[in-house]
Amino acid sequence: MDKQNIFDLSKEELSEVIKPAFRAKQIYQWLYQKYVTSFEEMKNLPKELKDQLQANYYLDPLTIVKVEESRDGSKKYLFALKDGNTVESVLLPMKQEQSDEEGKLIHHTRYTICISSQVGCKIGCAFCLTGKSGFKRNLSAGEITTQVLMIKRDNAIAENRRVNIVYMGMGEPLDNLTNVSKAVRMFNDLDGLSISPRRQTISTSGLSSQIEKLGKMDLGVLLAISLHAVDDVLREKLMPINKAYNIESIINAVKAFPIDARKRVMFEYLVMKGLNDDQRSAKKLVKLLHGIKAKVNLIYFNPHSGSEFGRPLEKDMIAFQQYLVDHGVLCTIRQSKGLDISAACGQLKDKEQKNDPA
C-alpha cells in the first residue's frame, strides 16, 4: 500500500483512523506547532503508534529546491512535490520588528505568505508567466498547508506568531475550491497553525459561479478579485476567462458575497504602461465599484523576459490613485517587493527549468 501524505488529513479525519482520538490532537500539534520532521520526534506517542504512522504516512510532501532572497527581506521558494512537479511560494515581511529605546520589543515582524493552489494554471492570462507552462494538476489540501508550515520552519517563525495568507501564487484557487476550502479550515484549527480565516485572502481571476459557491460556504475568508481592466474588450485580451465570466457577472457575484462588516473586498488592478493606466480607466473603475465596500490595490506590472507589457510610470500610478481617492474609493499602491529576484509568479520555476533542460 502506498503511503499517504499525513498533512492531507484534517484533525477530524486523523481522529477517525488513529485511536484513541486524543492522539490525533497530539499528532496535529507535533506537525503544525512543533515543526517535527519525523514521527520519531513525537515523544509523547507510544512506539507502536509511531511505527503505525511510519508505515502508513509520509511527512515530506514538499522539499525546498531553491530559495532566492531579496534585499527587502522577501524570499521566493521553489518547492518540489512528490511527483516531480514544482510550485512557488513567497514570504513577505510586511512590518519589521520594532523595539523601544531600552531594547524592549514593541512589535514582532509581521509576515504575509503567498501560496500556490495548483501546478500551473488553466486561466492563461496574457501577462502571467505561470500559465505559459500549462496546467498540470490541483494541489491537495496538505500540499497547500505545508507551504506555510515549511516557510515558518525555515525562517524560525515561532508557532504562536500568526501570519497572513494570500492565495495569490500559482494557479486559480477557485478552480480548486474543494481542496482550498479544506485548507482554509485546516489552517484555522487551534491545534494546528491557528490562522483565522480573516487572515486568509483568496484571490480569483473572477470565476463568478465559484465566487457564489465560496460565499455560500461562509468560511469567513477575505476575497480579492484580479480585475486588471475596466471593460470587457481589454479584459478579454488580458484574461481570456472573461469570455465566460465577464465583468458584470463578477461585480454581481461580489455584491452577494458575505464579508465581515469591518473588511472590504479587494480589487487587484495590475497597471501596465499605456494600456490601463489613464484617467479614463480610473473614471470607469470608480463607476464599476459603486455600491461595493471595496479597496483597490494598484500593482506595478513586474516585467519578465518575453513580456509585451511595460511597467507604468510612477506619476501615472499616483494620478490614478488620486482620482480614485478623490471619488471615495479606498486605494493603495502596492510597493513592489523582490524586484531583484524572481518575484513574479512562475519566474523562479521558469528559470530553474531553463537551467536544467533535462
Candidates 16, 69, 88, 102; catalytic one: 88
How far, rounded to the nearest angstrom, does the alpha carbon of residue 233 sit from its chain's CA centroid? 28
Q: Is 125 annotated as a binding-site member?
A: yes
Transcribe 211-253 into DSSP letters: HHHHHHHT---EEEEE---SSHHHHHHH-GGGGTS-HHHHHHH
Q: How far apart are CA 138 and CA 109, in angstroms?
A: 32
Q: How far apart are CA 296 and CA 298, in angstroms?
A: 6
Is 88 considered catalytic here?
Answer: yes
Q: Is 172 annotated as a binding-site member?
A: yes
Q: Is 149 annotated as a binding-site member?
A: no
Q: Is 234 annotated as a binding-site member?
A: no
Q: Is 124 annotated as a binding-site member?
A: no
Q: Is 209 annotated as a binding-site member?
A: no
Is 345 considered catalytic here?
Answer: yes
**Starting from the edge strand earliest in sequence, which strands make up the sheet with 265-271, in order?**
62-69, 75-81, 86-95, 110-114, 164-167, 200-204, 222-226, 265-271, 294-300, 330-334
Q: Is 160 annotated as a binding-site member?
A: no
Query: C-alpha grid cell for residue 48?
Result: 507502536
Query: What is the bridge-based pairing of β-strands 98-99 and 86-95?
Result: unpaired
Transcribe 305-319 into DSSP letters: TT-S--PPPHHHHHH
Residue with cell 480589487: 267
Helix (H, G, I), strand (E, B) or coil at 349: helix
How far, rounded to the nearest angstrom, does the alpha carbon of residue 211 sit from its chain's CA centroid? 16
Q: Is 117 annotated as a binding-site member?
A: no
Candidates 13, 308, 345, 352; catalytic one: 345
Sort 26 into a burial class: Cβ within 10 Å, 0-12 / 13-18 / 19+.
Answer: middle
Q: How far apart are CA 169 and CA 172, in angstroms?
A: 8
Query: What is the bridge-based pairing of β-strands 164-167 and 110-114?
Result: parallel
| ∠ Cα 259 260 261 (to 5°) | 110
Q: Are 171 and 144 in contact (CB under 8 A)?
A: no
Q: Is 331 annotated as a binding-site member?
A: no
Q: Is 15 annotated as a binding-site member?
A: no
User: Residues forming the annotated binding site?
Assistant: 121, 125, 128, 171-172, 203, 226-228, 302
- Which residues fall in the annotated binding site for S-adenosyl-L-methionine? 171-172, 203, 226-228, 302
Active site residues: 88, 345
Binding residues for [4Fe-4S] cluster: 121, 125, 128
